[in-house]
Structures are given as C-alpha cells and as structure tokens.
Amino acid sequence: MMKLIRNGVVYGPEPMGRKDILIVGDRFGFLDDTIAVPFPDRLVTEVIDAQGKYVFPGFIDGHVHITGGGGEGGYRTRTPEIVLSSLIKAGITSVIGCLGTDGAARSLEALYAKARGLTEEGVSSYILTGSYRVPIVTLTGDPMKDIMLIDLVVGAGEIALSDHRSAQPSLEEIRRLAADMRVGGILSGKAGVMNVHMGDGPRGLGVLREIVATTEIPFSQFLPTHVNRNERLFLESLDYALAGGCIDFTAAPDAAGDDLTAAVALRRALDAGVPAERITFTSDGQGSLPVFDERKELVRMGVGQVDTLFREVRDAIRDQGVPLATALGTITRNPAGIWRLKGKGRILPDFDADLVIVDPSTFEIETVLAKGRTMMLDQRILVAGTFEPDGPAGRLRPSATVAGPAPSRTSA
C-alpha cells in the first residue's frame, strides 16, 4: 500500500519547504519536491492534496490519563477514559498513558489493556509504571522488571512531589526508584524516565536537584511536569532546565497559575536561554484539574482535554511569536527524544507515517494519519473507537458482536 501527500509545506518539525511525501505501508518512504510514481493507478491507493497546507509530524502527548483519573472530590468525580476520536481530532498519534492520584482503584493492568486497545484502534500507545504513591504500584512487583519485561512501559510516573496528595516520599525512596529506572532503561534500550508531578509545595524541585548533585544519576532521568502551575515553581524550573534538566509545561488552562499558560511559559523559557529541545508540552488529558483553597480543601474541579495540546502550540506561534518549528518541537521531536520513541516525532524516511495536515490560515487540524492509515480527512473522522457511536460496535445491531468468525453453516 502506498499513499501520496502532494504539495504540502512540510515542517518535520524543521522547515523543509514544499514537498511530496510517499508513504509505503506504515512508514514514510520518500520525500522530494515532486514524486512521480510509475503505474500510480496500481500502486497508489490514496492521494491527498495538501496544496497550501502545513504538514506536521503526528503529535506526541506524553501525559494522558487514558483510563481516567481524579477522584479528589469523591467517587463521582472519577474522570472517564479517553476515546480514540478525541486523540485523532487533537492530532495525537502517539500517547503515553499514566495513572495519577488513584493507584488503588485504578490499576496498571487496566492501563496496559487500554493502551493495547488504543494501539489496535490505530494510534501508538505506551504507559508508565506507578502512580502518585511511592513505593510505586507495579505490574511485576519490581519497577526495574516492569520496564525491562513489559513492552509498553517506557518509564515511571506520574510520581507526586511537593504536593499534599503525594505519599511524602523520602529522598532515598526517590533516589532508589530513579536508579532502578535508569538501569532498567539501559538494559532494555528504553528511556526509563520518571514523570514527576510537581505540586505547589515549598520544596519544589529540591529533591531532584539534590539527587543529581549528590549521585551519578543525570538530569535526563527526570521530567518534572506542571512546572507552569505558579510563578515560583516556574522560575525554579528555569534554573533547573538551564542546569541541564528537561521540563514539561501543562497545556490544560486550569492547571496553569498566574496566567502561565504553556504558550507564555515557552516564550519566557526561551527568552531566559533554556534550550528548546529541553521543553515539552503535555495535555494532562482526562486527568482531574482540582483547585484547592489555602486549607487544601477542594473548591472546584475540571477535566483535562487533549485538544489543549496543539491549541497552546498555536498560541505560542500566533500570540507569543515563537518560531513555528520551535513550538512544534514541544509535541513532536522533543518528547520523541526524551522518551526514546523510535521512529516518532519527525517526518523522515523510514519513520512511522504519523502526520497532521493543518490549515495555515486558521491553524485548524484537517487531516490526520497514524502509521499510514488515514484516521481523519478534511475534519471528518474516518476511524472511530470501537464503542464510539460511529465505531465498529456502534454501527452493529444490539444483538450483534463486535468481531469474530461468522457462524458456520451445515447443510441438512
């Protein structure tokens, strides 16, 4: 199977100019100014005209509660799981699922199964072992074994620090977990990164800084997230990044304090001299976004939406003057590098054929391909999740099954 994307203005995420892209199977095959395919009627199954449109790599969201999250307001505030079409409409073709506050009623087994289901439906899915708590919940009983032996596990998290909902772990506990993740990652060829939920407590990033300063564990072992939640933590995160660490800005507006949206935080971080490749955006999709008062009592709660991911990239470009390739890198090249997602985050030959076509005048996502499969075309979902209304199960009669062999018939 071959598909041809014609005449798009390609950012891979670096600017590449106007190109044709030939997709062979589930990979990018060739990129050139013009691609002529012999016997196109026989070899090319689909041609998409991207004339005048931007063509981007598929987006990577490194922090989504794919099985739901929350519960800080009681059982009725447990947030729902993600559905495929939400990811596709947001241009997300690769997702890293995680647990959060609740590592008791929500399980890693369910997280793994959900990631498998999303992969079968068409996107690339990975997971993190653990939750807020330390010692962490695991699949095998050992965090190092999880990352070495469970194919979809790429790291740990989200581990809560400086937060009243955390397990208040000691420095030694975090250091031991980081060491296990590092060795497990080395042995398995994975990232082994710890996704660290940063609360608004006064200790801030101190634990991570101390581990790096007093051990051989490098900055690259940690990715602190939500660091744009308030001005104090944001400024501390700039020092952390300038010293060598990577930082993640949460795109969900309810998670940003003091008007520190991800777009504004990116502009300010770049102005402070933070290397662009050390910055990522994530959505915190399907996670709860609780707001607590000074007594740590719940005031209100929102739910993270994955469509904020590209919205903040757009705002960084349009409102903050961040170069397109730099802003786009926060959800393509940068997370692919930090999480070691092979074949992801770039438009290059032999990389996975994940791409997003965007109207440059509106910055609306129009078309999405995941591993060479057209998931959305001209803002029309072609591939919905199994149990969505337009998915395979939703189109069947109530008595029908989702899949399986046809019943055999025997003659009398």
CB 121 within 8 A of CB 383: yes
CB 335 within 8 A of CB 286: no
First to last CA, the chain: 43
Question: Is 94 in a helix, a strand, or coil?
Answer: strand
249 closest CA partner among 264, 162, 395: 264
370 closest CA partner among 52, 47, 95, 33: 95
CB 251 within 8 A of CB 225: no
Q: Which residues contact 187 (CB under 8 A, 6 or more apart)?
A: 148
25, 26, 31, 35: CA torsion to nearest 10? 30
The one catalytic residue in 102, 284, 315, 354 is 284
Residue type, 139: L
CB 55 within 8 A of CB 369: no
| Residue 26 falls in the annotated catalytic set | no
Hey, which residues are catalytic here?
Answer: 284
